[in-house]
Amino acid sequence: MEGAFGSDFGGSGSGKLDPGLIMEQVKVQIAVANAQELLQRMTDKCFRKCIGKPGGSLDNSEQKCIAMCMDRYMDAWNTVSRAYNSRLQRERANM
Amino acid sequence: MRTLSPEILIFTLTMADLGEADEAELQRMVAAEQQKAQFTAQVHHFMELCWDKCVEKPGNRLDSRTENCLSSCVDRFIDTTFAITSRFAQIVQKGGQ
């Protein structure tokens, strides 16, 4: 059976669908959406940090800044993710 | 950003020709993914606020001051959420506007 996103939902000849295969598709969709979100926000933040007065092109320092900014953004993402996870566990322990 | 959108959930559950047990399992798995997606959406939100507060010029690595700032930012935002929720409840209870 062909899904709305052009993917195979794992239907057999009997027409029954496999939840495991459906979930694989769902997880991929979520991962793609998350990557898009990450890139959009990273681009926004790094543009603000690295590009002052916009010139005729991206100069060398701006390009280097963008590369560093991307790495730092992902480091920050990991730090924030860990901090949030810890806090959630602490709150659950206190309940 | 949307978390696991209702459209995906509804599409998955109504379009699927599943037995009862399979449908229950699917609901359970979708709920788990929904929770993960909610976590991720929150991290995006924290980044929106905390990056500006904590990161100045991006360097070769995040120094410890920046790392501490980011961790504290998450905790202080959550504390703020609690503070606002509880005080708002008091305000509403007193019949205020």
Domain holding B39, by residue range, is 6-95
The residue of chain A nearest to residue B33, with distances taken between CA atoms, is A27
Asked if the structure places residue B1 within a domain, the reply is no
Asked if the structure places residue B73 within a domain, the reply is yes
Q: Alpha-carbon distance A86 to A26, whole Å?
A: 27
CA distance B75 to chain A (A): 7
Count of structural domains, chain B = 1
As a whole number, mean pLDDT of residues A5-14 equals: 51
CATH number of the domain located at residue range(s) A21-94 in this protein: 1.10.287.810
One pLDDT digit (tens) per residue for chain B, 97 residues: 445 565 566 666 665 567 778 888 888 888 999 999 999 999 999 999 999 999 999 999 999 999 999 999 999 999 999 999 999 999 999 986 5
Taking Cα atoms as reference points, which of B46, B80, B93, B25 lies closest to residue A23?
B25
A84, A85, A90, A95: best to mutate for the B interface, most B CBs within 10 A? A84
How high is the pLDDT of residue B16?
59
Per cent of chain A over pLDDT 90 is 71
CA B20-B23-B28 angle, 5° bins: 130
- What is the CATH number for B28? 1.10.287.810
The residue of chain A nearest to residue B68, with distances taken between CA atoms, is A79
Asked if the structure places residue B33 within a domain, the reply is yes
